[in-house]
Amino acid sequence: DHPGWRIVTLHPAAASRGLAQPDRVPARAATGAAAMLAHEIKNPLSGIRGAAQLLAGTPQGEAATLPDLIIDEVDRIAALIDRMQDFTDTRPCVVEPINIYPLLDHARRLACAGFAREVRFEERFDPSLPLVNANRDAVLQILVNLLKNAAEATVHQADRRIILATTYRHGMAASAGAGKPRRPLPIELAVIDNGPGAPDDIVDQLFDPFVSGKPEGRGLGLALVDKLARDMGGIAQYAREGSPEMTVLRILLPRATS
């Protein structure tokens, strides 16, 4: 009815709930906290562990078990600090054209041999998926983190299911951070599970550090996934989709140019 006019409509997309936002203040705060923890705690821990090992050489009754307890606790704290240190790495991520399928297979085999032994896996792969521009170690770390989250989310399900899926999304483009141009991100990797999903009150902060829906959770796993995806020029997304509804965690990455 109006020649020469064009109508543009905007609709909220449910799949973008939990979409990682660029340069969050909490993420920057986590980087500072990680650096402080590494400097103030990790070095003294090595001395504590060494003293415990010396004690272990001279057992005296029940006291002989104390050094083992100290060593276990020190190792646990050191592992947490190592994860925090991942946030302080600001070096450019080295990316190259890679075939994603060997990494998907490796991550699945790791999960099946350990934390997901009782979970049924399904694969929904796009057989024509091109090479992705990414970092092998970062992609593998992302996949293992997402599979571990999915396995923990399904622990109370009678039929525990995890679906590994790949898709080529034509026309998908986004920016991986503030000041960065929008670029095509057509390669989609998805880890889907039949768990209950994240609580509604934390969905919009799901990729922020220290946000977790698990009582024992530290809120570092998905925050690290978000950081690694951004380092490779991609993004991470969370959604509840399908019928019956399932949890979908997506990583969108650029296609290799050659």
CATH assignment of the domain containing 170: 3.30.565.10
| CB count in 10 Å sphere of residue 177 | 13
Domain boundary among 70, 88, 106: 88
Same domain, 238 and 116: yes
CA 256 to chain centre: 22
By CB neighbour count within 10 A (0-12 exposed, 13-18 middle, 19+ buried), where does 152 fall? middle
The candidate with the shortest Cα–Cα distance to 81, out of 115, 131, 44, 52, is: 44
Helix, strand and coil content of the chain, in percent to the nearest 5, comes to 45, 20, 40
Same domain, 184 and 215: yes
The amino acid at residue 198 is A
Phi, psi (5° rounding) for residue 240?
-115, 120
**Which residues of the chain have a pLDDT value below 70?**
1-4, 6-47, 50, 56-66, 69, 73, 76, 79-80, 82-89, 212-219, 258
pTM for this one? 0.71
DSSP 8-state assignment for residue 251: E
DSSP 8-state assignment for residue 255: B
Same domain, 101 and 77: no
The candidate with the shortest Cα–Cα distance to 101, out of 77, 126, 72, is: 126
Residue 42: give the domain boundaries.
25-88
pLDDT at 166: 97
**Helix or strand holding residue 164 (H, E):** strand 161-168
pLDDT at 159: 93
Same domain, 112 and 143: yes
pLDDT at 85: 66
pLDDT at 169: 93
Q: How far apart are CA 191 and CA 247, in angstroms?
A: 8
Inside any domain, residue 76: yes
Domain boundary among 88, 105, 131: 88
Inside any domain, residue 7: no
Inside any domain, residue 14: no
Inside any domain, residue 19: no
Token pair for residue 185? 């991100």
pLDDT at 80: 65
